[in-house]
Amino acid sequence: MAGHSKWKNIQRRKNAQDAKRGKIFMKHAKDIYLAAKQGGGDPDMNPSLRLAVDKAKSDNMPNDNIDRAIKKATGNLDGANFEELTYEGYGPGGTAVMVEVLTDNRNRTASELRHAFSRNGGNLGENGCVAFMFHRKGYLVIEQSTTEADEDSIMLEVIEAGAEEMETADGAYEIYTDPDDFQSVKMALEESGFTFATAEVTMIPETLSDVDKDSAEKMVKLVHMLEDMEDVQEVYHNLNADEEIMDQL
């Protein structure tokens, strides 16, 4: 999990400094739209929607934007029909990459993804080419600075809440859950007074891919290019580089 943690720490810093708020809100709106379309517009009865709304609020998305996305999905407003797709490929140095998108035009999205991969030394692959290298997990991060509880006390709370694993790294407690248990674990820990720097269901690589500095630089450019695409919701990969290189990037 350490390589994943290292990348997530970089991503948290990147997200905190990201000035492209409109693009972030658009991605949240699509996520909310899809969750409401599939499971209904009531967050109390739709865990996927509740998670999407929580993530949007954590980025300070206005309530009006959230409500509009839900109304579009439930037929109360006119809007485009989106579909959720996952693309797979290989990045520089043979790294595995998975890209989750929400799009109203799959041909446009596939073309843009193919361009991003080829421009940065990778290639878009067939479905299933790298999916077996990842598994889906709930992921919660409690910053040590936000709690006075010690590690042993938090571990007991985490176990009692039903989580699978907890690790301590880079000034934070990282908690992993079964995806089906994510919401119940999150709610139990919230009731115990904990707040989260990150709370999401994500893809964790089974194995990490070691690359040199040149490949690492190209990989970071690829990830940033993918994340800047309007249709892209999430990017997962198994990059592992020297810690000094990752700090520089």
Amino acid, res. 54: D
Pair (66, 96) in one structural domain: no
Q: Return the CATH number at 161.
A: 3.30.70.980
Q: Do 138 and 201 contact (CB within 8 A), yes or no?
A: yes
Q: Which two tokens stand for residue 137?
A: 């997990």
Pair (137, 201) in one structural domain: yes
> Would you say residue 43 lies in a domain?
yes
Pair (126, 138) in one structural domain: no
Q: Which two tokens stand for residue 188?
A: 């139990």
At 151-176, the pLDDT tens digits run: 999 999 999 999 999 999 878 999 99
Write down the pLDDT at residue 50.
92
Asked which of 50, 73, 96 is the last residue of a domain, the reply is 73
For 45, other C-beta atoms within 10 Å of its C-beta total 10
> Would you say residue 169 lies in a domain?
yes
Pair (164, 57) in one structural domain: no
Pair (233, 212) in one structural domain: yes
Domain count, the chain: 3
Pair (107, 120) in one structural domain: yes
Pair (174, 51) in one structural domain: no
Asked which of 51, 73, 95 is the last residue of a domain, the reply is 73
Pair (25, 61) in one structural domain: yes
> Would you say residue 61 lies in a domain?
yes
> Would you say residue 172 lies in a domain?
yes
**What distance, in Å, lies between the first and last C-alpha atoms of the chain?**
20
- Rounded to two decimals, the pTM is 0.77
- DSSP secondary structure string for all residues of 182-193: HHHHHHHHHHTT
Pair (149, 198) in one structural domain: yes
Range of the domain at 126: 84-132+207-248
At 61-95, the pLDDT tens digits run: 999 999 988 988 887 766 677 888 999 999 999 99
Pair (22, 44) in one structural domain: yes
More confident residue, 17 or 188: 188
At 93-107, the pLDDT tens digits run: 999 999 999 888 999
Asked which of 23, 53, 73 is the last residue of a domain, the reply is 73
> Would you say residue 78 lies in a domain?
no
Spatial CB neighbours of 112, under 8 Å, sequence gap ≥ 6: 229, 231
What average pLDDT does this structure show over 113-122?
96
Per-residue pLDDT at 14 exceeds 70: no
> Would you say residue 67 lies in a domain?
yes
Pair (95, 145) in one structural domain: no
- DSSP secondary structure string for all residues of 128-149: TSSGGGEEEEEEEEEEGGG---
* Highest-confidence segment of 113-117, 200-204, 209-213, 214-218: 113-117
Pair (164, 192) in one structural domain: yes
> Would you say residue 79 lies in a domain?
no
